[in-house]
Copies of this chain bind each other. A is one copy, B any other.
Amino acid sequence: MPTGPTGRPATIYDVAARAKLSIATVSRVLQGTGPVSAKARARVDQAAQELNYVPLRAARSLAVQRHEAHGLVLPDLAGPFYADWLMGYERWAGEHGQSVVITVMHGNPDPRRSVRDLASRVDGIVVHGNALDLATIQDLRGARVPVVLVAHAPVAGCDSVRSESAGSAEQLTTRLLDHGRTNLLFVGDPDGSYDVSERYVGFAKALRNRGLEAPAPARVPLTEVGGRQFAETVLQAIKSGRGRPDGLVCANDELALAAMTTLTSHGVGVPDDIVVTGWDDVMAARYVSPGLTTVRQPMAELGRTAAERLHERVTGVRTRARNDVLATQLVLRDSCGTNRGMHAVTE
């Protein structure tokens, strides 16, 4: 928020003139580089102060060949957890003087252009989930843009950060089986995202461990509409006397919540007739009745970690790719019928 004498923003020349020093010295004082006398420092500080001078980032970026900014590419911002993730990222960025430029792909009229554009104003890019196809990611890599993948399968040359999925899903599923469930269904499309595919892997593994065959996943969108629709088909199946599931392992909470409430409102008891679990631990999960058993991801930490990894790459302190997997937390509530005592938390 600089104010120059002319009304136009003050430049380093204005400061230099006012301090009666060269722009080189001004730059050295302001950036804290190189040796400067105390006197010069004081004069510059005062002049800068008086002119309310702020160096123009574009000029600095051009000169130092660095932007001091991170680019984030997100598929969209739906769901409550992006906020937490972003918050974690922002926090780290703020503490380390990095700006954050966000680009959302959903509804973007020209994704390719947007990403190129982003790449030219930041030092590196974080890609969340499948916001970008592999070709575009490779493109970025080819152009030597540091890339960190979040909630995405590892890619050669890129760092990745995600939360553990398969293990938690297996653990959760096993728990349901332990409590006598015999006809579990996985709800959600594994092809939709890496995370979901991992969850299905864990689900299937738990079943196989019991000598059961894993049924194909119900490929519905991870939304409330998807959950409602799926519940309808379950209700149909029950009504028509066909085989009925006695448990739904849903790929996220929206799905689970919609499915569960649809079922209960049609007289199907949860958890007695059918158990339901979700993923993410959204706020509604603890306000619905019965409370929704779910898996909590350390969203803020995922964000923080992604920021850190990207910075390491940008500054070059690390060159070997690194794939972080953060632990999740099983949150037991009543919807899974295995809960003793509220809010027991395992793992």
Q: Does A326 contact B (CB under 8 A)?
A: no
For the complex of A and B, 6 pairs with smallest distance between CB atoms: A1-B143, A58-B61, A284-B284, A90-B104, A287-B288, A57-B121
Alpha-carbon distance between A307 and B95 when the two chains are bound, in angstroms: 27
The proximity string for A residues 169-197 relative to B, scoring 1 for CB distances below 8 Å and 0 otherwise, is: 00000000000000000000000000000
Alpha-carbon distance between A68 and B347 when the two chains are bound, in angstroms: 47
Q: Does A267 contact B (CB under 8 A)?
A: no
| B54 in contact with A58 (CB, 8 Å) | no
Task: Please report the total number of A residues contacting B with Cβ < 8 Å.
Answer: 65
The proximity string for A residues 86-130 relative to B, scoring 1 for CB distances below 8 Å and 0 otherwise, is: 110011001101011111101111000011111111000000000
What residues of chain B lie closer than 8 Å to A55, measured between beta carbons? Answer: 120
What residues of chain B lie closer than 8 Å to A102, measured between beta carbons? Answer: 86, 90, 100-102
Give the contact stretch, choosing among A12-20, A32-40, A75-83, A231-239: A75-83
Among residues of B, the one whose C-beta sits closest to the C-beta of A286 is B284
A-B contact pairs, 21 of them (CB 8 A): A1-B115, A3-B142, A9-B143, A52-B139, A52-B142, A54-B119, A69-B101, A77-B83, A80-B80, A80-B283, A86-B102, A87-B106, A91-B104, A94-B108, A97-B117, A99-B103, A99-B121, A100-B102, A101-B101, A101-B102, A287-B288
